[in-house]
Amino acid sequence: MSTKFVLNETSYFGKGAREELPAEINDRGFKKILVVTDKSLYEAKVTEKVTEVLDKAKIEYTVYSEVKPNPTIKNVLDGVKVCKEFGADAIVAVGGGSSIDTAKGISIVMTNPDRSDVVSLNGPSNTKNKGLPVIALPTTAGTAAEVTINYVITDETREVKMVCVDPHDIPVLAIVDSDLMASMPKSIAASTGMDALTHAVEGYITKAHNTMSDMFHMKAIELIFEYLPAAVNEKDEKAIEMMGLAQYIAGMGFSNVGLGIVHSMAHQLGAVYDTPHGLANAILLPTVMRFNGEDPATAQRFREILMHIGRQDAEHLNDQDVINTFVWKITELSKAVGITQTVKDTGCKEEDLSMLADKAMEDPCKPGNPREVTKEDFINLYRTAM
């Protein structure tokens, strides 16, 4: 049986890497660019760090800056309208997962007009055409949307996050510039960093993990535990750059092997209460890992992780001590970057748990979880995380 692995074409890393953008645009023959970003980045002049590079090179562009933190079907359709009216032949996404995911949705609808309802893009996709070329410049060290085949769009009518999985949406170029990440507020740097950790941990224990994905995920875990606190609390330049690399590496892995029920549950908090995705993951990760650790094979995977993040003694611990130590390490990292919220802080109430569990049962990330889960399990996990 073969293993499929999909990676993007080209990536640049490092402080000031955005200066490579004009040459890449010209070499690829792109003439008119749609810049997709969100209002807060645009108003804070973070997007300007990219558009001024385009201005200097006299590259024609227009900006769509209405992306929401949990992007919606309307965001995609409004972006498609702007893209068509301007006649763009490529998209430059500047932002976190929200902006890049919206760009991916626009990209796919532009070349697959039969999917203009957007709803039909949910789940594993069978689109026929590659999307309009996307160049992604992440401003957060978390989602790795610049290197994945996934994007998440909220259906506000149904209060559901659609997880769209489509190799046709992967950006043709990623530019991971730590200058863009350095301007993020502490809260966003913390939550997106924990999002990256969730990707790496879930990817390492998912049912589909393989030798190549293990390599990516383990290295990402090591880097995140080492550099996240300094990146968030001290705005240390090297730490920010290493976090940009860590989240990218994690994306190379989980994009190919999937995730688990931390994401199944976090997606519902985002869809129903508009909870930022990284924060939802950070809140849920310790509780779900304790649940998953009850599977002996997963506890062994935790043991391997612990031995790579400074706990060589984990080799001699029993499974329960491994689980307790691993969950403690995750919790302490969250606290170190200022994340102390619970599910209750999202606005969730006891009477919502059954509804959330129903939605989580249908989430596309659920099948990848190493341990089988029932609706009652989901209810209990949400309740524990309250």
pLDDT of residue 232: 96
Contact in structure between 63 and 8 (CB atoms under 8 Å): no
Q: What is the pTM of this model?
A: 0.93
Can you give the length of the chain in residues? 386
Please report the domains of the chain, with CATH numbers, ordered by start residue. 10-181 (3.40.50.1970), 186-385 (1.20.1090.10)
The whole-number average pLDDT for the span 119-133 is 93
Measured CA to CA, the distance from residue 219 to residue 318 in angstroms comes to 24
Report residue 3's pLDDT band, with 50, 70 and 90 as the boundaries: confident
Contact in structure between 97 and 251 (CB atoms under 8 Å): no
Q: Does residue 109 surpass a pLDDT of 90?
A: yes
Q: Does residue 238 surpass a pLDDT of 80?
A: yes
Residue-wise pLDDT for 345-375, tens only, equals 999 999 999 999 999 999 999 999 999 999 9
Residue-wise pLDDT for 28-67, tens only, equals 999 999 999 999 999 999 999 999 999 999 999 999 999 9
pLDDT of residue 74: 97
Indicate the residue type of 111.
T
Residue-wise pLDDT for 252-280, tens only, equals 999 999 999 999 999 999 999 999 999 99
The whole-number average pLDDT for the span 185-201 is 96
Q: Does residue 126 surpass a pLDDT of 90?
A: no
Report residue 8's pLDDT band, with 50, 70 and 90 as the boundaries: confident
The whole-number average pLDDT for the span 232-248 is 96
Report residue 4's pLDDT band, with 50, 70 and 90 as the boundaries: confident
List CB contacts of 85: < 8 A, sequence separation 6 or more. Answer: none
Provide, for the chain, the percentages of residues in helix, strand and coil under a 3-state DSSP scheme, each rounded to the nearest 5. Answer: 60, 15, 30
What's the mean per-residue pLDDT of the chain?
A: 95
DSSP letter string over 101-157? HHHHHHHHHHH-GGGTTSGGGSEE---SSPPSPEEEEESSSS--GGG-SEEEEEETT
Percent of the chain with pLDDT over 70: 100
Report residue 123's pLDDT band, with 50, 70 and 90 as the boundaries: confident
pLDDT of residue 1: 74
**Is 336 exposed, middle or buried, given 0-12, 13-18 or 19+ CB atoms closer than 10 A?**
middle
Provide the 3-class DSSP secondary structure of residue 325.
Answer: helix
Q: Does residue 287 surpass a pLDDT of 80?
A: yes
